[in-house]
Amino acid sequence: MTASQQVIAIFLVTYVVAVSSGPSIVTYIFGDSLTEVGNNNYLQLSLAKSNFPYYGIDYKGGMATGRFTNGRTIGDIISEKLGIPSPPPFLSLSLNDDAILKGVNYASGGAGILNDTGIYFISSFNLLCFSYSYCLITVTGNKSCGLFSGSNDYVNNYLQPFLADGQQYTHDEFIGLLISTLGEQLTRLHQLGARKMVFHGLGPLGCIPSQRVKSKRGQCLKQVNEWVIQFNSRVQKLLDALNRNLYGAKLAFADTYSAVWDLIHNPTAYGFKISNTSCCNVDTSVGGLCLPNSKLCKNRTEYVFWDAFHPSDAANVVLANKFFSILFPEPHPPSPTPLPHY
């Protein structure tokens, strides 16, 4: 691969790099549980795992793979839309494995911008992004690399009453910590050779089931959504500043808040019936994963959310289509429909 090859960087609540080399396309995915495909299965002590039923029930083979949904992730679907296989988890490969050149998924459930967030799940953002990003840049010789947004820094850190950050910092202080840390990480990636990055902001976290359950009437948490909007605004300003100060940097912000908001508040427009609770019926303020003893909904295609945190396969199709249209404006084949054996 050469520096003259076309490189496209994509951040969902995750990150995908698509490298076009002649007729072939290679994807590198960075993210959290929204796009993980099994990295945490190789982290023996990690608490953020989904390698048990009923995860993967609608994925090919019907078995859990480490994906935090009933079927495919957004990254899987975007790979399908690009006409390529979904890349394997990085930890399933050896560092000298040539398969790395054909695309890798680095996403790790529980990862966040702050190290504190990773420690909660015994997984580390810096470990799973910086070292892997360095591997990506040095092995492929590309100039595009990146980071993902900080949903876990809120949902599984600041908003958890038993963790220190929510007690130690006011929100203004916490968001300042997030932005300064993110700035350091983006600067480090620039030093490693990354140039083109598209950062997708947070969606309305106050409307996911794990947050709604904290409301007496099951409504969206207005305060949380206001914090998310504030975070997105600060990230935009950060990227503008980095573009001014870092040589050759082309950092862009993609606001996906409204797209996710519309899916949640107008589910019938997309073929769904329920968007305020999860198919697994595990909406709790602590926990919220779809355990083997969970009572599943009868029709999984009617639910936007699979568990208390993650979209269903059918919802991921909708979100992938929306994100794809932003990132790749040229005409492409339509996304595959959700798997039929529901």
The set of catalytic residues is 33, 307, 310
| Radius of gyration, CA atoms only, the chain | 19
Q: Are 107 and 14 in contact (CB under 8 A)?
A: yes
Q: How many whole angstroms separate alpha carbon 57 and alpha carbon 77?
A: 17
Chain CA centroid to CA 51, Å: 18
Q: Are 178 and 233 in contact (CB under 8 A)?
A: no
- Tokens 């394997």 correspond to what residue? 88
Q: How far apart are the first and last CA of the chain?
A: 42
Residue 50, class by beta-carbon neighbours within 10 Å (0-12 exposed, 13-18 middle, 19+ buried)? buried
Give the DSSP per-residue string, 265-333.
Answer: H-GGGGT-SEEEEETT----SS-----TT----S-GGGEEESSSSSB-HHHHHHHHHHHHHHH--S--P
**54 prior amide bond cis, ω within 30:** yes
- Which residue, 91, 66, 81, is CA-closest to 12? 81
Q: Record the tokens describing residue 109, joined without a space.
A: 């459930």
Q: Please compute, for residue 110, the number of CA atoms within 13 A of its CA located in the half-sphere on the CB side.
A: 25
Q: How many whole angstroms separate alpha carbon 332 and alpha carbon 110?
A: 32
